[in-house]
């Protein structure tokens, strides 16, 4: 069935706005759909897929758009849509456009230059190649360019993984157990979860397996005092609260009232009563000072470039720059130092990012350890063994989509000496 020609116009219009890169693509898309309530769910789905197809393959499609006739923006839009639904499904194409699109879609992309094929900005491609070599970088880039699967975390205070998988099978929803997280389930096709009783009663939450592992390596136990220092919308907070079996005290700190507001409905569903959301002004807020030296475990999921999440947010690679990274590094060091004050002797601090770059990861940790001799690095292989997570790692946790089928994550565990 052919799509109405207006789909091309709508897609081009929203793409123009997204390609200014003034904010996240998903937010711009949501607002656009609110402003155009006549668009049905199928049309919205096609527009979103076309936009994300273009963002993933922007380098290649910009190059392809140099051939053909007519406005460049329309050609780029057509490439994104053809990627999503195929050339034959597009209504309103001229004969010339149909022929051009069909020809371009047959190009063997494996023959393109590596830098172009990676669909990464040149500065990022060069950094990754310098560190990992071209072959490894291309494998990573290809994995980052695939849409992410849908992972769920079972809320251990309400259900077991076996029970949830059995209930999903009757829905019927195809799923499998994740290889590393003991509470993870990977969904094969993406269903509407919001209507499932399992979702409504808080037995499951959407959470990438890598993010679940970050919460696990914190090792939060019953009755402890724990802080999620950059809680955001609270995915890891909820995982920590369940690991603590709803005992002790878990503080969810964040500077954004809006992000903490998103935690409230999730918290209500989860059945957790040990979580205390707290809005802070910055990493030196007096609310933090009151808890100095009293906390058993602190998780710092630091603000970062987000380059490990390109499967979900492909626009991020085009929005970040070497300059924005330097600004993030300053913030990351300050937040880590601020959070460290909370940790009591013998307590643990986990520094994590969803970045793939050393300057946001190992470099920040090395700088911190050099300036804080009261802390020592706990090798990740020991932490993984403690938590019975079947992963081979050295000093740090480094997850990547081409090796672990998760988002790109980094974590280091630091312990305050007694």
Q: Is the residue at 94 inside a domain? A: yes
Same domain membership, residue 124 and residue 53:
no
- Please give the tally of structural domains in the chain: 4
Q: List beta partners, residue 206.
A: 152
Q: How far apart are the first and last CA of the chain?
A: 68
At residue 192, the pLDDT reads 85
> Residue 344: helix, strand or coil by DSSP?
strand
Indicate if 23 and 127 belong to the same structural domain. no
* 289 and 402 in a common domain: yes
Does one domain contain both 40 and 99? yes
In this structure, is residue 91 part of a structural domain? yes
Tell me how far apart the alpha carbons of residues 415 and 300 are, in angstroms, rounded to a whole number. 13
pLDDT digits (tens, 9 = 90+) for 283-334: 999 999 999 999 999 999 999 999 999 999 999 999 999 999 999 999 999 9
Q: Is 354 a catalytic residue?
A: yes
Give the C-alpha separation, 221 to 238, whole Å.
Answer: 14
The whole-number pLDDT of residue 1 equals 79
Same domain, yes or no: 223 and 292: yes
CATH number at residue 322: 3.40.50.150
The answer to whether residue 62 sits within a structural domain is yes
Mean pLDDT taken over the chain:
96
Q: Average the pLDDT over 28-56 and give the result.
A: 96
Q: Which helix (H) or strand (E) holds 219?
A: none
Give Cα separations from 327 to 173, 304, 339 (angstroms).
Answer: 44, 10, 19
The answer to whether residue 369 scores a pLDDT higher than 90 is: yes
- CATH code for position 198: 3.30.70.1170
% of the chain exceeding 90 in pLDDT: 96
pLDDT tens figures, 162-201: 999 999 999 899 999 999 999 999 998 888 888 899 999 9
For residues 150-157, give the mean pLDDT: 97
Judgement on whether residues 216 and 182 belong to the same structural domain of the protein = no
Residue 259 and residue 231 in contact, taking contact as beta carbons nearer than 8 Å:
yes
Distance CA 270, CA 241 (A): 9
Residues 236 and 350 in one domain: yes
Up-side HSE of residue 202: CA atoms within 13 Å toward CB?
Answer: 17
- Is 1 a domain residue? no
Asked if 264 and 276 sit in the same domain, the reply is yes
pLDDT one-digit tens code per residue, 192-237 = 888 899 999 999 999 999 999 999 999 999 999 999 999 999 999 9
Q: Residue 136 and residue 154: Cα distance in Å, rounded?
A: 33
Phi, psi of 182 (to 5 degrees): -75, -10
Token duo for residue 78: 């057509």
Residue 181's domain spans which residues? 150-206
Predicted pLDDT at 156:
96
* Percentage of the chain lying above the pLDDT 70 cut: 100
Task: For residues 268 and 165, state if they share a domain.
Answer: no
Coil, strand or helix at 225: strand
- Are residues 237 and 318 located together in one domain of the fold? yes
Looking at the fold, whether 351 and 364 belong to one and the same domain comes out as yes
Does position 75 have pLDDT exceeding 90, yes or no?
A: yes
Residue 22, domain member (yes or no)? yes
Paired with 185 in beta bridges are 152, 177
Please indicate, yes or no, whether residues 46 and 184 belong to a single structural domain of this protein: no
Buried b (16+ CB within 10 A) or exposed e, 316-346: bbbbbeeeebeebbeebbebbebbbbbbbee
* pLDDT reported for residue 189: 84
Indicate the burial class of 409 (C-beta count within 10 angstroms; 0-12, 13-18, 19 or more): buried
Q: How far is CA 128 from the centre of its chain?
A: 19
């Amino acid at each position: 069935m052919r799509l109405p020609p207006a789909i091309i116009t709508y897609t081009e219009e929203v793409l123009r706005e997204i390609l200014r890169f003034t904010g996240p693509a998903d937010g711009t898309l949501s607002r656009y759909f609110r402003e155009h309530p006549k668009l049905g769910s199928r049309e919205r789905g096609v527009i979103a897929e076309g936009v994300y197809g273009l963002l993933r393959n922007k380098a290649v499609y910009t190059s392809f758009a140099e051939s053909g006739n007519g406005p460049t923006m329309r050609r780029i839009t057509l490439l994104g849509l053809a990627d999503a639904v195929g050339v034959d499904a597009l209504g309103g194409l001229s004969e010339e456009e149909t022929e051009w699109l069909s020809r371009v879609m047959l190009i063997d992309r494996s023959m393109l230059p590596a830098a172009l094929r990676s669909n990464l900005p040149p500065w990022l491609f060069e950094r990754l190649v310098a560190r990992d070599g071209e072959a490894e970088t291309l494998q990573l880039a290809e994995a980052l360019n695939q849409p992410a699967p849908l992972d769920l975390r079972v809320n251990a205070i309400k259900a077991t993984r076996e029970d949830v998988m059995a209930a999903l099978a009757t829905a019927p929803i195809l799923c499998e157990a994740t290889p590393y997280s003991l509470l993870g389930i990977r969904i094969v096709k993406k269903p509407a979860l919001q209507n499932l009783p399992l979702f409504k009663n808080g037995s499951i939450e959407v959470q990438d397996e890598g993010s679940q592992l970050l919460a696990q390596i914190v090792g939060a136990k019953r009755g402890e005092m724990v802080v999620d220092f950059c809680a955001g919308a609270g995915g890891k907070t909820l995982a920590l609260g369940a690991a603590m079996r709803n005992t002790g005290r878990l503080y969810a700190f964040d500077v954004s009232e809006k992000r903490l507001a998103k935690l409230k409905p999730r918290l209500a569903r989860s059945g957790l009563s040990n979580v205390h959301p707290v809005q802070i002004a910055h990493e030196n807020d007096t609310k933090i000072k009151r808890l100095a030296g009293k906390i058993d475990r602190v998780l710092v999921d630091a603000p970062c470039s987000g380059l490990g999440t390109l499967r979900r947010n492909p626009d991020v690679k085009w929005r970040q720059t070497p300059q924005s990274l330097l600004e993030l590094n300053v913030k990351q060091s300050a937040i880590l130092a601020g959070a460290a004050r909370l940790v009591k002797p013998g307590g643990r601090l986990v520094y994590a990012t969803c970045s793939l770059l050393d300057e946001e990861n190992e470099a920040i940790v090395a700088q911190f350890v050099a300036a804080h001799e009261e802390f020592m690095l706990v090798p990740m292989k020991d932490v993984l063994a403690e938590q019975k997570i079947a992963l081979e790692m050295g000093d740090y946790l480094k997850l990547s989509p081409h090796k672990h089928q998760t988002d790109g994550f980094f974590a280091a565990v630091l312990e305050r000496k007694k």
